[in-house]
């Protein structure tokens, strides 16, 4: 069977988040294997089209009317003006599959053209939008009684999941980063779902980038990610407070990232180092200089930062919700704990340096078994189920 021609519409590409990170690696995979691939994405260049071998990219500028969702995430209400440019590239490229990553303006365009041009649609689930929506209702639920607040959050979450699932039903095949989400999507959409996990570059993220002196006995507790309510970052301040109550000293927090809760965290963690957003060598060095990753999110669908930490020889403490629990081997490469157990888990590692060193080795060993090629090989296997759907010999021009 011939390799499918894929048109990929990622929600974000240049930003600092899991979708963007995965998308950049997906494009790199296509280029590395010389696969026919068109990436339609938002960026800073106006209508910039490039082609290198079989890889084509169309980068389209968002307007000044874009609605800011986060510090580096926007939704452009005028993105429709790029419709002609997108259509022209699709007609030239003749894709077998259009792949979207969510209900953004890019995802909506991808879904529309898949419908209009008769091209099978694939969609990957990267963000638990329904859980994010519920967490961000705190401004309202905080004013209600505990019971009413919880009921409101459940209602918002259920409504958001219903709406998002209806959007994903437009696709013929779905992808998700863990088995739990695949089962949920199959139940709510009636569509088949395949794994689209995450890989890691174990050369780039490696203990070899550690620059701390061997005599430094400080235990550096790290966090990498968005500093916002859906990441449950306030638990970091609770961990710091409870460690002090337990008499556990010699620890320091290293916080990498930005977000709406940053100012509050800076007040609560006055002795922490806030590095901001790091990329490249600076990020690899930051990971390698950590001793434990404290990642309290309940909403992450996978947890790229957890895998990057393990590759850097850094065990992680994560919650039993979302994707990170599938990465961490409890008691071997870190701990899977409820919120009220985080401090105890961290304290155990601070006090037992021998166990911490064993975990560091196990974490690195686990990460060495992960690769981006294996991840995207499985995605292309999922695409193959779509190819018979297209009628042989029919082109986009004939269907338009």
pLDDT tens digits for range 172-205:
999 998 888 899 999 999 999 999 888 999 999 9
Q: Report the alpha-carbon distance of residue 245 to residue 366 in Å, rounded.
A: 34
pLDDT for residue 64? 76
Q: Report the alpha-carbon distance of residue 1 to residue 384 in Å, rounded.
A: 8
pLDDT for residue 400? 37
- The overall average pLDDT reported for the chain is 88
pLDDT for residue 27? 97
pLDDT for residue 178? 85
Segments in the chain below pLDDT 70 = 1, 45-47, 66-73, 128-144, 146, 148-160, 388-400
pLDDT for residue 144? 63
Q: Report the alpha-carbon distance of residue 228 to residue 234 in Å, rounded.
A: 9
pLDDT for residue 45? 64
Go through the domains of the chain in sequence order and give each one's CATH number. Answer: 6-199+372-399 (3.40.50.2000), 207-367 (3.40.50.2000)
pLDDT for residue 365? 95
Pairing of strands 73-75, 67-70: antiparallel
Q: Report the alpha-carbon distance of residue 166 to residue 181 in Å, rounded.
A: 16
């Amino acid at each position: 069977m011939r390799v499918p021609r894929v048109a990929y519409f990622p929600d974000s590409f240049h930003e600092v988040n899991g979708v963007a990170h995965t998308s950049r690696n997906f494009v790199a995979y296509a280029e590395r294997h010389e696969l026919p691939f068109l990436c339609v994405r938002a960026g800073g260049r106006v209508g910039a089209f490039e082609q290198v071998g079989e890889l084509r990219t169309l980068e389209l500028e968002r307007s000044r009317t874009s609605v800011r969702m986060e510090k580096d995430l926007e939704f452009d209400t005028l993105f429709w003006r790029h419709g002609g440019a997108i259509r022209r590239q699709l007609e030239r490229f003749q894709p077998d599959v259009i792949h979207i990553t969510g209900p953004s303006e890019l995802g909506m365009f991808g879904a529309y053209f898949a419908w209009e041009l008769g091209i099978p649609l694939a969609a990957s689930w990267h963000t638990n939008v329904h859980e994010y929506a519920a967490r961000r209702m705190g401004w309202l639920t905080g004013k209600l009684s505990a019971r009413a607040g919880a009921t409101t959050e459940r209602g918002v979450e259920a409504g958001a999941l219903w709406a998002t699932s209806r959007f994903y039903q437009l696709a013929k095949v779905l992808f998700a980063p863990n088995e739990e989400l695949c089962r949920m999507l199959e139940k709510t959409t009636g569509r088949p779902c395949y794994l689209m996990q995450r890989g890691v570059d174990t050369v780039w993220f490696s203990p070899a980038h550690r620059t701390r002196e061997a005599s430094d006995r400080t235990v550096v507790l790290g966090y990498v990610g968005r500093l916002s309510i859906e990441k449950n970052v306030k638990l970091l301040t609770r961990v710091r407070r409870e460690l002090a109550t337990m008499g556990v000293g010699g620890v320091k927090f290293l916080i990498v990232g930005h977000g709406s809760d940053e100012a509050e965290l800076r007040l609560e963690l006055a002795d922490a180092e806030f590095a901001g957003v790091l990329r490249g060598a600076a990020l690899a060095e930051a990971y390698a200089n950590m001793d434990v990753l404290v990642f309290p999110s309940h909403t992450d669908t996978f947890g790229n930062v957890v895998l990057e930490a393990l590759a850097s020889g850094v065990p992680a403490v994560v919650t039993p919700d979302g994707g990170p629990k599938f990465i961490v081997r409890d008691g071997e490469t870190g701990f899977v704990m409820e919120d009220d157990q985080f401090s105890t888990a961290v304290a155990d590692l601070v006090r037992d340096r021998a166990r911490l060193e064993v975990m560091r080795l196990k974490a690195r060993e686990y990460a060495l078994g992960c690769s981006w090629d294996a991840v995207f090989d499985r995605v292309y296997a999922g695409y193959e189920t779509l190819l018979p759907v297209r009628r042989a010999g029919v082109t986009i021009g004939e269907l338009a």
